[in-house]
Amino acid sequence: MNQANGCGFIGRRWRGETALAVLYWHDIVVVGSIINLLTGFAALMLAAQGVHLAIAAAVHFAPLPYNAFLVVSLWRTPRCSRAMAWTSALWLVVMTVV
């Protein structure tokens, strides 16, 4: 498919064309959590090495736009249950803080 017409990764998720289970379990719970843990670890390493705290904070919060995109995409997906919506919001809060 042509990526230029918005049929790529982001476009499919935004329009709710990705399976709910894939978006929730794969994209958010597995991949999103791994990305957040890696950037959180990198931020801690930078802070421990004496790098300016603003840089470490920027690394820590770098995945926040992606996280918010995934959560909002899940909410926009047809048949998204309240449990999935609430747990994804909780996931967003935990991943932002941790």
pLDDT per position in the chain (98 positions), as tens? 455 555 799 999 999 999 999 999 999 999 999 999 999 999 999 999 999 999 999 999 999 999 999 999 999 998 999 999 999 999 999 999 98
Per the prediction, the chain carries an average pLDDT of 93
Note the pTM of the prediction, 2 decimals.
0.88
Q: How many Å apart are CA 84 and CA 29, to the nearest integer?
A: 11
Q: What is the pLDDT of residue 56?
A: 97
- Total count of domains within the chain: 1
Q: Which residues contact 7 (CB under 8 A, 6 or more apart)?
A: 1
Q: What is the pLDDT of residue 7?
A: 74
Q: What is the pLDDT of residue 9?
A: 93
In which domain, by residue range, is 88 found?
Answer: 3-97
Q: What is the pLDDT of residue 25?
A: 97
